[in-house]
């Protein structure tokens, strides 16, 4: 049995599994490994210092895989934003066929990508945002539940509710993100109305992930309780792994009259990069989701994807089918 969905057909992949576009992690080594295993690997545009560096990373990825892969472009409001239009142009000029967008007011980017025949998957955290993106003309939605690493929005709706709520209203293909790490999750996502899953934290704990082994072991050793929600007071909630830095951010943010400047030294992106690359897990924020509680090993991407798909197929065709009485099974057929 092969799990084929509208999403796999849309982007031309074998298995309905997508690697999240993670800052400092979404590099050619990981994206190519995921794509070679039949999923959809994603390069993270802003991990590259300049648009020209992104062009070189896309070229490097192409030397590692001949399978489809995409590029994530996350648009965030900023006093001094990166040159988003130049990164967009690098993606278009490089002939990338799939882009994952996320963040703030992506319309101009979506319009330009679509004008060049690029498939756009927009990542969002609420049904209303998914419907807005659908009206905007994107090709697919990645709906991100409260369990996720990164920014789950401010509504605090977990995937068990958010995925079917979105599936009830979104007409274009939709994949589910946040809390996925094994075949049970894939089978559940399909049952809830999604047509695939997006995984970030789970792919960090793979052999090809370009981060220090100490961080991979940190994720494996953590359980589902080992996250902190930061930036809540500033209406920009983020879920990160629990460590001394995120504990300190929680403490400082809770102080009367706290302002973002109080925590800025602890949350700088370069400190997070240092943690990932040096293996000093208390050097900065480590972004990770509650799915840590389901991660028990550090396989290759091929081993992981093969296992997830095989387990999901066994659940769908075996365990779930076994619950049906003969009469119910004949009616379902």
Task: Say which CATH number the domain at 320 has.
Answer: 3.20.20.70
Residues in the chain: 333
Tell me how far apart the alpha carbons of residues 18 and 144 are, in angstroms, rounded to a whole number: 13
Domain that holds residue 232: 213-290
Q: Are residues 235 and 126 in the same domain?
A: no
Same domain for 157 and 13, yes or no, is yes
Q: Is residue 176 part of a domain?
A: yes
For residue 299, being part of any structural domain is answered with no
Sign of CA dihedral 74, 75, 79, 84: positive
DSSP string over 182-194: SHHHHHHHHHHT-
In a domain, 133, yes or no: yes
Q: How many angstroms separate the CA atoms of 260 and 279, rounded?
A: 27
Q: Are residues 206 and 230 in the same domain?
A: no
Are 118 and 181 in a shared domain?
A: yes
pLDDT of residue 331: 64
Q: Please name the residues in contact with 197: beta carbons below 8 A apart, sequence gap of 6 or more.
A: 16, 17, 18, 175, 176, 177, 180, 185, 186, 189
Going residue by residue through the chain (333 aa), what tens digit of pLDDT does each one get?
Answer: 689 999 999 999 999 999 999 999 999 999 999 999 999 999 999 999 999 999 999 999 999 999 999 999 999 877 789 999 999 999 999 999 999 999 988 999 999 999 999 999 999 999 999 999 999 999 999 999 999 999 999 999 999 999 999 999 999 999 999 999 999 999 999 999 999 999 999 999 999 999 999 999 999 999 999 999 999 999 999 999 999 999 999 999 999 999 999 999 999 999 999 999 999 999 999 999 999 999 999 999 999 999 999 999 999 999 888 888 777 556 666
CA angle 19, 97, 169 (to 5 degrees): 65
Contact of 13 with 140, CB cutoff 8 Å:
no
Closest CA to 248 of 198, 283, 275, 274: 283
The pLDDT of residue 284 is 97
Using DSSP, how many helices (H) and how many strands (E) does the chain show? 16, 10
Is the domain of 233 the same as that of 143?
Answer: no
Query: 128 and 169: one domain?
Result: yes
233: DSSP letter: G
Q: Both 183 and 236 in a single domain? A: no
* Category of 24 on φ-ψ map: left (φ > 0), alpha (ψ -120 to 50) or beta: left
Determine the pLDDT at residue 317. Answer: 92
Sheet holding 98-103, edge to edge: 17-19, 197-199, 174-177, 140-144, 119-124, 98-103, 69-75, 41-44
Same domain, 58 and 22: yes
Residue 274 included in any domain: yes
Assess whether 138 and 203 both reside in one domain.
yes
Model pLDDT, residue 76: 86
pTM of the full structure = 0.95
Q: What is the pLDDT of residue 310?
A: 97
Do 252 and 263 contact (CB within 8 A), yes or no? yes
Closest listed residue to residue 152, CA positions, set 237, 227, 241? 237
How far CA 38 is from CA of 134, 301, 304, 314, in Å, comes to 26, 10, 11, 18
Does residue 226 fall inside a structural domain? yes
The confidence score (pLDDT) of residue 324 equals: 81
Round to whole Å and give the CA distance between 65 and 175: 23
- What is the number of structural domains in the chain? 2
Classify 100 as helix, strand or coil. strand
Which tokens hold the place of 126?
């609420």
Residue 78: predicted pLDDT: 73
| pLDDT at residue 329 in the model | 56
Q: In the structure encoding, which two tokens stand for residue 174, read together?
A: 């939709």
One domain, residues 203 and 279 = no
23 and 69 housed in the same domain: yes
Residue 116 tokens, joined: 């060049």
Task: Please list the alpha-helical segments (H only) found in 73-182.
Answer: 84-93, 107-115, 127-136, 159-167
């Amino acid at each position: 049995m092969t799990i084929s969905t509208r999403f796999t057909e849309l982007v031309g992949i074998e298995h309905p599994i997508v690697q999240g576009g993670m800052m400092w992690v979404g590099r050619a080594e990981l994206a190519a490994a995921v794509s070679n295993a039949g999923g959809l690997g994603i390069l993270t545009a802003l991990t590259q210092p300049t648009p020209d560096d992104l062009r070189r990373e896309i070229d490097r990825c192409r030397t590692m895989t001949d399978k489809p892969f995409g590029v994530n472009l996350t648009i965030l409001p900023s006093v001094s934003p990166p040159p988003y239009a130049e990164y967009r142009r690098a993606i278009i000029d490089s002939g990338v066929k799939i882009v994952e967008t996320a963040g703030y007011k992506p319309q101009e980017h979506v319009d330009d990508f679509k004008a060049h025949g690029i498939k756009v998957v927009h990542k969002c955290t609420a049904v209303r945002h998914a419907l807005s993106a659908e009206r905007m003309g994107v090709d697919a939605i990645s709906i991100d539940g409260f369990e996720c690493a990164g920014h789950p929005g401010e509504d605090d709706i977990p995937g068990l509710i958010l995925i079917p709520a979105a599936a009830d209203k979104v007409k274009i293909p939709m994949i589910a993100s946040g809390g996925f790490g094994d075949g049970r999750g894939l089978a559940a996502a399909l049952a809830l109305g999604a047509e695939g899953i997006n995984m970030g934290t789970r792919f960090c704990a793979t052999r090809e992930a370009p981060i220090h082994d100490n961080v991979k072991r940190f994720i494996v050793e953590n359980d589902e309780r080992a996250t902190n929600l930061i930036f809540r007071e500033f209406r920009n909630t983020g879920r990160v792994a629990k460590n001394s830095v995120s504990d300190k951010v929680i403490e400082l943010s809770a102080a009367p009259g706290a302002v973002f400047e109080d925590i800025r030294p602890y949350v700088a992106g370069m400190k997070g990069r240092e943690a990932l690359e040096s293996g000093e897990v208390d050097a900065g924020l480590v972004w990770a989701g509650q799915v840590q509680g389901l991660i028990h090993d550090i396989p290759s991407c091929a081993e992981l994807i093969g296992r997830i798909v095989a387990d999901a197929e066994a659940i769908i065709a075996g365990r779930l089918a076994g619950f049906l009485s003969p009469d119910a099974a004949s009616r379902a057929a």
